[in-house]
């Protein structure tokens, strides 16, 4: 069974979604990412995927205060990515209770950081984010073309002890056009790594198709826009229930 990770992308203190990760395409879904975390928890999410978009674009974490409040507000594991470039930043995140850290750009620029973090914190706690456009890895907020094939990077990370990647097809992200099933299956088969798929999920049928890739190591999926746009039938009932609730609470299940 696929694990569903609702995505919370933070930019300028707000919860937003971008189209293919491009600046200027922001759509604001909430002025308070912490409340959004509480809402997803109230709808029985088992874990959350949080991205510091400001950090990704600027090369350093920018929303640590928001993340700290989020950690106190919900009682489920949170994984965080975006702008994480140093060992000290990784340690700081674990110190405040983050469950798992996603390293993206630094997997290219500083592979020794990945190796050290895996050694010190364990492979279950460190994930490498591989964001690809036409099979080629993009970094620095998806602005820089590295010329490195996604599979090659994944295999290199595996040699450093990494056991899981988050694979995002940039051309599908925020498009509601369906995941790139072929690319997801390819990287899972070629590397033998556990894969969290990201980008393009539009509805329940996409989840069924992704679940067929579970035999290859695809065991989880990050969903953003489809959830925010209420593309799943069960959400209609949730939205009605939430209208009469004063408190979604960190442990409430609707």
Give me the active site residues, please.
9, 131
Contact in structure between 82 and 51 (CB atoms under 8 Å): yes
Maximum distance among all alpha carbons in the chain? 52
At CA 219, angle to CA 218 and CA 222, rounded to 5? 95
Contact in structure between 192 and 165 (CB atoms under 8 Å): no
Which residues in 124-135 are b (16+ Cβ under 10 Å) and which e? ebbbbbbbbbee
Contact in structure between 78 and 51 (CB atoms under 8 Å): no
25: alpha, beta or left, given left = phi > 0 and alpha = psi -120 to 50? alpha
Helix (H, G, I), strand (E, B) or coil at 164: strand
Q: Rounded to a whole number, what is the distance in angstroms from the first to the last CA of the chain? A: 21
Beta strands in 31-99 (DSSP E): 48-52, 78-81
Facing residues of 78 across strands?
A: 48
Phi first, then psi: what are they for 19, rounded to 5°? -100, 115
Tokens for 103, please give them. 């390293």
């Amino acid at each position: 069974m696929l694990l569903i990770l609702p995505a919370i992308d933070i930019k300028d203190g707000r919860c937003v979604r971008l189209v293919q990760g491009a600046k200027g395409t922001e759509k604001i879904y909430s002025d308070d990412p912490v409340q959004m975390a509480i809402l997803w928890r109230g709808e029985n999410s088992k874990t959350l995927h949080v991205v510091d978009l400001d950090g990704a674009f600027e090369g350093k974490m920018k929303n640590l205060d928001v993340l700290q409040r989020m950690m106190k507000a919900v009682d489920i594991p949170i994984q965080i990515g975006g702008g994480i470039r140093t060992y000290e930043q990784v340690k700081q995140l674990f110190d405040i209770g983050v469950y798992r850290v996603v390293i993206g750009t630094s997997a290219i620029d500083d592979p020794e950081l990945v190796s050290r973090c895996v050694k010190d914190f364990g492979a279950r706690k460190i994930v490498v984010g591989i964001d690809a456009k036409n099979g080629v890895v993009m970094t620095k907020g998806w602005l820089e073309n590295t010329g490195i094939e996604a599979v090659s990077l994944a295999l290199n990370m595996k040699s450093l002890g990494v056991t899981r990647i988050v694979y995002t097809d940039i051309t599908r992200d925020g498009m509601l056009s369906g995941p790139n099933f072929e690319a997801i299956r390819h990287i899972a088969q070629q590397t033998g790594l556990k894969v969290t798929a990201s980008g393009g999920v539009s509805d329940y049928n996409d989840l069924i198709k992704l679940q067929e890739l579970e035999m290859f190591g695809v065991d989880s999926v990050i969903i953003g826009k489809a959830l925010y746009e209420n593309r799943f039938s069960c959400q209609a009932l949730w939205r009605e229930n939430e209208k009469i609730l004063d408190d979604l609470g960190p442990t409430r299940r609707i």
